[in-house]
Amino acid sequence: MPYMLLAPAVLVTVFIVFMPMVQAVVTSFYDLILWKPNASRFVGFGNYVKLFADPVFWTALWNTAIWIGLTVPLQMGLGLLTALLLNREFPWRGLARALIIIPWALPSVVIALMWRWIYDPNTGVLNDILIYLSIVQSAVPWLADPNLALYAVIATLTWQGFPFFAVMILAGLQGIPKSQYEAASIDGASSWRQFVHITLPGIAPVLATAGLLRVIWVANSMDVIFVMTGGGPGYATHTLPLYAFVRARQNLDFGYGTAIAVTFTILLGAIVAVYLARTMREVER
């Protein structure tokens, strides 16, 4: 009986997820250029060997590390700050909470185009503001400067993702019993010590879960980068999934593209495994 009830969901996912996945692994062993399918030939691990000798791969890997390493902590920090503020009593709390999550509901294309417009070197508002405040002397080409572009995109993604953390952490904060704070303040604990010894341990599980989830999500997300810079200038904003996508899309080099995608998936697999182990443990409880 349970198997019958599960059958539709399992069958559909087998067709649209697992079959393509197997296909991807198979494709990665072939030299396959999409517009000349007859020239396709089996190359074994050839694509992977090529990959390790490919300087762009290493650039993309390094960019991916910076991308995750900066975006997730920034989102989390800003999210924590927001959650702590929203956890206080003030009259327009409900409204503030609703407004803060707006970035989360916007389509990523809109977000990417919106920020391209803000970053625009000639007419963008960010340069106008910075010049007006005399922080910079002349317009900065945020997305065209190879040294800045990646960080400019990271700033955008931080903006997009911090509401998620804020909302998750807020739920965690509201689960901490008030009595603990009362007891601590009777014992004379300062608000900083209350934060370190009550608040942080209280939300640690949420931080860990949300953090892991976000690492996976941020690693995978490439639509914002794709629309904002397309990976450029040069390879300055290439992350691994983006490299795979661009390679397959522009050169129709599906064999090599999927090889990059498979490699990336395996690397990400380690983080996914930690998350899965955590979640399944909770489910069993």
Binding mask 17-36 for another protein (x = CB under 8 A): x-xxx-xx--x------x--
Paired strand residues for 33? 253
Phi, psi of 62 (to 5 degrees): -65, -45
Q: How many chain residues are in contact with another protein, going by CB under 8 A?
A: 91
* Residue 36 near residue 30 (C-beta atoms within 8 A): no
Segment interacting with another protein, rule: CB under 8 A, options 47-55, 56-64, 136-144, 170-178: 170-178
Of 118, 148, 189, 274, the residue at the interface with another protein (CB under 8 A) is 118
**Helices within 14-124 (DSSP H only):** 19-27, 46-52, 55-86, 93-100, 102-105, 108-119
Rounded Cα distance, 145 and 153, in Å: 12
Q: Does 131 bind another protein (CB under 8 A)?
A: no
Q: Does 219 bind another protein (CB under 8 A)?
A: yes
Site for another protein in 247-276 (CB under 8 A): 248-249, 254, 257-258, 261-262, 264-265, 268, 272, 275-276
Q: Does 56 bind another protein (CB under 8 A)?
A: no
* Least spacing, CB of residue 29 vs another protein, in Å: 13
Rounded Cα distance, 261 and 240, in Å: 7
Rounded Cα distance, 71 and 222, in Å: 13
Q: Which two tokens stand for residue 231?
A: 């990976």
Segment interacting with another protein, rule: CB under 8 A, options 40-48, 52-60, 67-75, 117-125: 117-125
C-beta closer to another protein: residue 147 or 185: 185
Of 66, 109, 200, 204, the residue at the interface with another protein (CB under 8 A) is 109
Q: Does 200 bind another protein (CB under 8 A)?
A: no
Segment interacting with another protein, rule: CB under 8 A, options 12-20, 41-49, 135-143, 188-196: 12-20
Segment interacting with another protein, rule: CB under 8 A, options 44-52, 56-64, 132-140, 208-216: 208-216
Q: Does 206 bind another protein (CB under 8 A)?
A: yes
Chain-centroid distance of CA 13 in Å reads 24
Segment interacting with another protein, rule: CB under 8 A, options 39-47, 105-113, 144-152, 229-237: 105-113
First to last CA, the chain: 24
C-beta closer to another protein: residue 135 or 147: 135
C-beta closer to another protein: residue 122 or 147: 122
Sheet strands (E) in the chain: 30-31, 41-42
Contacts 24+ apart (CB under 8 A), 277-283: 278/208, 278/209, 278/212, 279/209
> How many C-beta neighbours within 10 Å does residue 82 have?
20
Q: Which two tokens stand for residue 168?
A: 């998750």
